Amino acid sequence: MMQKTPIAVLISGRGSNMRALIEACERPDYPARIALVLSNRPDAAGLEIARAAGLQTIAIDHKPFGKDREAHERKVDAAIRASGAEIVCLAGYMRVLTPFLVNAWNGRMLNIHPSLLPAFPGLHTHEAALAAGAKEHGCTVHLVTAGVDEGPILGQARVPVHAGDTPDGLAVRVLEQEHVLYPAVLLDFIINRYAE
Protein backbone atom coordinates (compact mmCIF):
# COMPACT_ATOMS: atom_id res chain seq x y z
CA MET A 1 0.00 0.00 0.00
CA MET A 2 1.27 3.44 -0.90
CA GLN A 3 1.43 6.17 1.71
CA LYS A 4 -1.54 8.47 1.23
CA THR A 5 -1.24 12.04 2.51
CA PRO A 6 -4.26 12.93 4.67
CA ILE A 7 -6.15 16.01 3.52
CA ALA A 8 -9.09 18.07 4.77
CA VAL A 9 -11.65 19.44 2.32
CA LEU A 10 -13.50 22.60 3.32
CA ILE A 11 -16.88 23.32 1.72
CA SER A 12 -19.87 25.61 2.13
CA GLY A 13 -22.42 24.18 -0.27
CA ARG A 14 -22.98 21.81 -3.15
CA GLY A 15 -19.63 20.07 -2.92
CA SER A 16 -19.10 18.99 -6.51
CA ASN A 17 -15.37 19.71 -6.38
CA MET A 18 -15.22 17.81 -3.10
CA ARG A 19 -16.92 14.90 -4.86
CA ALA A 20 -14.26 14.98 -7.58
CA LEU A 21 -11.58 14.84 -4.87
CA ILE A 22 -13.40 11.97 -3.12
CA GLU A 23 -13.48 9.99 -6.36
CA ALA A 24 -9.79 10.62 -7.00
CA CYS A 25 -8.86 9.62 -3.45
CA GLU A 26 -10.76 6.35 -3.87
CA ARG A 27 -8.24 5.28 -6.50
CA PRO A 28 -5.60 3.06 -4.88
CA ASP A 29 -2.79 4.84 -6.74
CA TYR A 30 -3.87 8.37 -5.78
CA PRO A 31 -1.50 9.87 -3.18
CA ALA A 32 -4.13 11.46 -0.91
CA ARG A 33 -6.94 10.35 1.37
CA ILE A 34 -9.65 12.51 2.87
CA ALA A 35 -9.33 12.68 6.65
CA LEU A 36 -12.09 15.26 7.11
CA VAL A 37 -14.79 17.17 5.24
CA LEU A 38 -15.62 20.38 7.08
CA SER A 39 -18.40 22.85 6.33
CA ASN A 40 -19.15 26.25 7.85
CA ARG A 41 -22.78 25.67 6.86
CA PRO A 42 -24.53 22.81 8.70
CA ASP A 43 -27.01 22.45 5.80
CA ALA A 44 -24.39 22.18 3.04
CA ALA A 45 -25.52 19.54 0.53
CA GLY A 46 -21.92 18.39 0.21
CA LEU A 47 -21.94 17.08 3.79
CA GLU A 48 -24.49 14.43 2.78
CA ILE A 49 -22.33 13.36 -0.15
CA ALA A 50 -19.33 13.04 2.14
CA ARG A 51 -21.26 11.06 4.77
CA ALA A 52 -22.61 8.74 2.09
CA ALA A 53 -19.01 8.13 1.03
CA GLY A 54 -18.24 7.10 4.61
CA LEU A 55 -16.06 10.10 5.37
CA GLN A 56 -15.66 11.92 8.66
CA THR A 57 -17.57 15.22 8.50
CA ILE A 58 -18.00 18.18 10.79
CA ALA A 59 -20.02 21.37 10.54
CA ILE A 60 -18.71 24.41 12.38
CA ASP A 61 -21.31 27.11 11.89
CA HIS A 62 -19.75 30.56 11.61
CA LYS A 63 -22.92 32.36 12.69
CA PRO A 64 -22.55 31.99 16.50
CA PHE A 65 -19.14 33.67 16.21
CA GLY A 66 -20.62 36.85 14.73
CA LYS A 67 -17.88 39.22 13.64
CA ASP A 68 -15.13 37.22 15.35
CA ARG A 69 -13.95 35.38 12.25
CA GLU A 70 -10.70 34.34 13.90
CA ALA A 71 -12.53 32.62 16.79
CA HIS A 72 -14.43 30.56 14.21
CA GLU A 73 -11.21 29.77 12.38
CA ARG A 74 -9.56 28.59 15.61
CA LYS A 75 -12.29 25.95 15.90
CA VAL A 76 -11.87 25.06 12.23
CA ASP A 77 -8.10 24.80 12.62
CA ALA A 78 -8.45 22.60 15.73
CA ALA A 79 -10.81 20.22 13.89
CA ILE A 80 -8.47 19.98 10.91
CA ARG A 81 -5.49 19.24 13.16
CA ALA A 82 -7.45 16.69 15.18
CA SER A 83 -8.21 14.83 11.92
CA GLY A 84 -4.51 14.50 11.17
CA ALA A 85 -4.85 16.28 7.83
CA GLU A 86 -1.61 17.74 6.45
CA ILE A 87 -3.07 19.63 3.47
CA VAL A 88 -6.26 21.69 3.28
CA CYS A 89 -8.26 21.92 0.06
CA LEU A 90 -10.78 24.74 -0.09
CA ALA A 91 -13.58 23.60 -2.40
CA GLY A 92 -16.29 26.23 -2.54
CA TYR A 93 -15.53 27.38 1.00
CA MET A 94 -17.22 30.75 0.93
CA ARG A 95 -15.39 32.54 3.73
CA VAL A 96 -12.75 35.22 3.45
CA LEU A 97 -9.94 33.96 5.67
CA THR A 98 -8.15 35.94 8.35
CA PRO A 99 -4.34 35.92 8.60
CA PHE A 100 -4.67 33.35 11.40
CA LEU A 101 -5.86 30.48 9.19
CA VAL A 102 -3.80 31.59 6.19
CA ASN A 103 -0.61 31.57 8.27
CA ALA A 104 -1.52 28.34 10.07
CA TRP A 105 -1.62 26.50 6.71
CA ASN A 106 0.90 28.57 4.77
CA GLY A 107 2.07 26.59 1.74
CA ARG A 108 -0.31 23.73 2.52
CA MET A 109 -3.72 25.23 1.67
CA LEU A 110 -5.08 25.09 -1.87
CA ASN A 111 -8.14 26.78 -3.38
CA ILE A 112 -10.02 26.41 -6.65
CA HIS A 113 -11.35 29.53 -8.31
CA PRO A 114 -13.61 29.70 -11.37
CA SER A 115 -11.55 32.01 -13.56
CA LEU A 116 -8.15 32.24 -15.17
CA LEU A 117 -6.51 34.20 -12.36
CA PRO A 118 -5.30 36.91 -12.11
CA ALA A 119 -8.36 37.73 -14.26
CA PHE A 120 -11.67 37.97 -12.42
CA PRO A 121 -10.95 37.38 -8.73
CA GLY A 122 -13.91 37.41 -6.35
CA LEU A 123 -17.50 36.43 -7.06
CA HIS A 124 -19.57 36.31 -10.28
CA THR A 125 -16.62 35.40 -12.45
CA HIS A 126 -18.65 34.02 -15.36
CA GLU A 127 -20.71 37.20 -15.66
CA ALA A 128 -17.50 39.22 -15.44
CA ALA A 129 -15.76 37.19 -18.15
CA LEU A 130 -18.70 37.61 -20.52
CA ALA A 131 -19.04 41.33 -19.73
CA ALA A 132 -15.34 41.79 -20.46
CA GLY A 133 -15.69 40.02 -23.81
CA ALA A 134 -13.12 37.39 -22.82
CA LYS A 135 -12.41 34.87 -25.58
CA GLU A 136 -11.18 32.34 -23.07
CA HIS A 137 -12.21 31.52 -19.53
CA GLY A 138 -11.49 28.70 -17.11
CA CYS A 139 -10.40 27.83 -13.61
CA THR A 140 -7.35 28.04 -11.39
CA VAL A 141 -5.98 26.07 -8.46
CA HIS A 142 -3.68 28.20 -6.33
CA LEU A 143 -2.03 28.29 -2.95
CA VAL A 144 -3.90 30.42 -0.44
CA THR A 145 -2.15 33.58 0.71
CA ALA A 146 -3.37 36.70 2.50
CA GLY A 147 -4.83 38.38 -0.59
CA VAL A 148 -8.12 36.87 -1.81
CA ASP A 149 -7.53 34.76 -4.96
CA GLU A 150 -3.93 36.00 -5.16
CA GLY A 151 -1.67 33.11 -4.17
CA PRO A 152 0.83 31.31 -6.43
CA ILE A 153 -0.90 29.49 -9.28
CA LEU A 154 -0.47 25.71 -9.28
CA GLY A 155 -2.54 24.90 -12.36
CA GLN A 156 -5.19 26.19 -14.76
CA ALA A 157 -7.67 24.75 -17.23
CA ARG A 158 -9.07 26.77 -20.13
CA VAL A 159 -12.41 26.76 -21.90
CA PRO A 160 -13.31 28.78 -24.99
CA VAL A 161 -16.06 31.36 -24.67
CA HIS A 162 -18.68 30.88 -27.40
CA ALA A 163 -20.83 33.59 -28.99
CA GLY A 164 -24.14 33.64 -27.14
CA ASP A 165 -22.78 32.00 -23.99
CA THR A 166 -24.76 32.66 -20.83
CA PRO A 167 -23.17 32.82 -17.37
CA ASP A 168 -24.88 29.56 -16.42
CA GLY A 169 -23.82 27.73 -19.57
CA LEU A 170 -20.27 28.93 -19.18
CA ALA A 171 -20.31 27.92 -15.50
CA VAL A 172 -21.23 24.35 -16.45
CA ARG A 173 -18.33 24.06 -18.89
CA VAL A 174 -15.88 25.59 -16.42
CA LEU A 175 -17.11 23.33 -13.61
CA GLU A 176 -16.44 20.23 -15.72
CA GLN A 177 -12.86 21.39 -16.00
CA GLU A 178 -12.65 22.19 -12.27
CA HIS A 179 -13.48 18.57 -11.52
CA VAL A 180 -10.57 17.40 -13.67
CA LEU A 181 -8.14 20.13 -12.64
CA TYR A 182 -8.40 19.97 -8.86
CA PRO A 183 -7.51 16.27 -8.44
CA ALA A 184 -4.75 16.60 -11.05
CA VAL A 185 -3.16 19.62 -9.38
CA LEU A 186 -3.41 18.10 -5.90
CA LEU A 187 -1.68 14.98 -7.19
CA ASP A 188 1.11 17.06 -8.72
CA PHE A 189 1.37 19.16 -5.55
CA ILE A 190 1.77 16.13 -3.31
CA ILE A 191 4.22 14.33 -5.60
CA ASN A 192 6.36 17.27 -6.69
CA ARG A 193 6.04 20.14 -4.26
CA TYR A 194 4.91 18.96 -0.88
CA ALA A 195 7.79 18.07 1.38
CA GLU A 196 7.29 17.63 5.06
Which of 73, 86, 165, 178 is in the footprint of ligand GRF by CB under 6 A?
A: 178
Q: Give the phi and the psi of residue 186 in degrees, each rounded to 5.
A: -60, -40
Residue selected from 7, 8, 10, 17 as contacting ligand GRF according to rule CB under 6 A: 17
15 is in an annotated binding site: yes
CA separation for the pair 55, 155 (Å, rounded): 27
Q: Is 69 annotated as a binding residue?
A: yes
CA dist 174 and 153 (Å) reads 17
The verdict on whether residue 40 carries a ligand-binding annotation is: no
For residue 8, how many other CB atoms are within 10 A of its CB? 25
Q: Is there a contact between 134 and 161 (Cβ–Cβ < 8 Å)?
A: yes
Residue of 62, 72, 113, 137 marked catalytic: 113
Is position 33 annotated in a ligand binding site?
A: no
Told to judge if 72 belongs to the known catalytic residues of this protein, a careful annotator would answer no
Site string for ligand GRF, 85-124 (x = CB under 6 A): ------xx-------------------xxx----------
Q: Tell me the residue type at 135.
A: K
Cβ-closest position to ligand GRF? 92
Three-point CA angle 120, 17, 45, nearest 5°: 110
Interface with ligand GRF, residue 151, by CB under 6 A: no
Tell me the CA end-to-end span of the chain in Å, nearest whole number: 20
Q: Residue positions in the annotated binding site?
A: 15-17, 69, 111
Which residues are marked as active site?
113
Please report, as ranges, the residues that interact with ligand GRF according to CB under 6 A.
11, 13-18, 46, 91-92, 112-114, 139, 175, 178
